[in-house]
A and B are shown apart, each in its own frame.
Chain A
């Protein structure tokens, strides 16, 4: 059955449409007196939230050790396949047989969609999304970040665990106890 929509009875003033226009004019005039809501971008920068997802970068811990162990999970999870890792040997001979380090690490920022899955999946907290949102260049090649550039953008992220230092302490303690 068709539904009958009750139309409200309009008064004569409402039928002329003029009171509504005057109401609209009032609203727009009040808007004109309000402060601006836009930022004048290059001079004023937006306040980014803490969990903002900008460019992904690699980070070191406070001792300058590179955290990435080149497990390639980020490469695997990356939806647009922006990450390429070439695993290599770790420089420090004491750890060389335990873990790996990336020999080359590339993030193609022309492909990256800033989803943050790489950060989420990383077991070592080595890849972190920074607040950098304005990446631009005159060449495409410059937007494929290599390892050096990634560390340059990433800097240091202090680490509470410091697993190698702990292991060293444990080893020392074990040595002491056997003596």
Chain B
């Protein structure tokens, strides 16, 4: 966002903006942990975490009690627990890589955050996305960097020097490779659609969202949306596909030997991935900040309109996060060979057929219907 000509002031502004965005997304990821526990308990017909409290805040008449009941302070309690726990490092680990792995798990998702737009603002008559970095290869960067998070799992599994961790790491690698392919193929029709004749940058997240002004991709490219969604579940390691840490057969996968804050980093990375995955699905298929399908965006072109876009986008993302959690407590885990068969035997062919079909349809639509 170029606001001033002063380079240093601009740099400062950018840093503050990036800090705020990161902070907010970290906060959302943190509270996704709480949301997961709450949704799990509601589905299991119990109240969930509702005891953690901070005395003088809970003393506030209605609000304090409400915050305690929804478990608002549970995040602080969990975080403090991770910080103050004893941290045993098993002697049989490769120390350097053992310490490096949790960082490698957390850094890529945080990088991905920088290219995800979460709203628009109007400046000098132009529509600009609200994002830390508006790059032309946005989607490519998300796919490329996003899957680097795998190195955290693989390295952690290997450095733990433990067969369960190692098997978890191998499964993580195999699963990611299988589903990354289907995911990439499923995204291509969206990119083709976004790269309309006369425009540049189909990979730009902004142009992808703008291409779904009234017609969301989930409606007119349902197969791509389905394949992408399934692949997203696999990439984020969410339940029907959580082969990586299937606790019944692998203890806890690559994070078996980790404790205290290092485990916390792995755990947190998983939830940041979940938030990013939800945001990505919203951007690619649910029309981003566009209002409703077949209804042009009613946002006024001013500051209030920008706030509306951000709020609307956030609501959609929360909806997707809820869907992820809801799915987790509905489906049992697939068997490992079933995961591979679904990936290679069903999703990849489906994505290829879908890509060919839309590669033929989209030029025809562009030619005759516009």
List chain A positions with a Cβ less than 8 A from chain B: 21, 24-25, 27-29, 31-32, 34-38, 40
Contacts and interface: CB of A to CB of B under 8 A. Distances in A.
A27 B39 CA distance: 14
Contacts of A21: 327, 330-331
B330 A34 contact: no
A21 B233 CA distance: 14
Contacts of B47: 36, 38, 40
B331 A34 contact: no
Contacts of B42: 31-32
Interface in B230-278: none
Contact of B44 (A24, A31, A35): A31
Given A25-B327, A28-B329, A32-B39, 14 more contacts: A21-B327, A24-B331, A27-B330, A28-B43, A28-B326, A31-B42, A31-B44, A31-B45, A32-B42, A36-B45, A37-B45, A38-B46, A38-B47, A40-B50
Contacts of A34: 45
A116 to B, nearest CB: 31
Contacts of B44: 31
Contacts of B331: 21, 24
Given A21-B331, A24-B331, A29 B45 contact: no
Contact of B46 (A28, A29, A37): A37
B53 to A, nearest CB: 14
Contacts of B45: 31, 34-38
A43 to B, nearest CB: 11
Nearest to B323: A25
A34 B41 CA distance: 12
Interface of B: 39, 42-47, 50, 326-327, 329-331
B48 to A, nearest CB: 9
Nearest to A21: B331
A24 to B, nearest CB: 4
Contacts of B43: 28, 31-32
Nearest to A18: B226
Contacts of A36: 45-47
A39 B44 CA distance: 13
B330 A24 contact: yes
A19 to B, nearest CB: 13
> Most chain-A CB neighbours within 10 Å: which of B42, B43, B50, B330?
B330
A35 B45 CA distance: 7
A137 to B, nearest CB: 23
A25 B325 CA distance: 11
Contacts of B329: 28
B165 to A, nearest CB: 31
Q: Which 5 A-B pairs have the closest CB atoms?
A: A38-B46, A24-B330, A32-B42, A28-B330, A37-B45
29 contacts: A21-B327, A21-B330, A21-B331, A24-B330, A24-B331, A25-B326, A25-B327, A25-B330, A27-B330, A28-B326, A28-B329, A28-B330, A29-B326, A31-B42, A31-B43, A31-B44, A32-B39, A32-B43, A34-B45, A35-B45, A36-B45, A36-B46, A36-B47, A37-B45, A37-B46, A38-B45, A38-B46, A38-B47, A40-B50
Nearest to A24: B330
Contacts of A27: 330
A87 to B, nearest CB: 49
Contacts of B39: 32
Contacts of A38: 45-47
B348 to A, nearest CB: 15
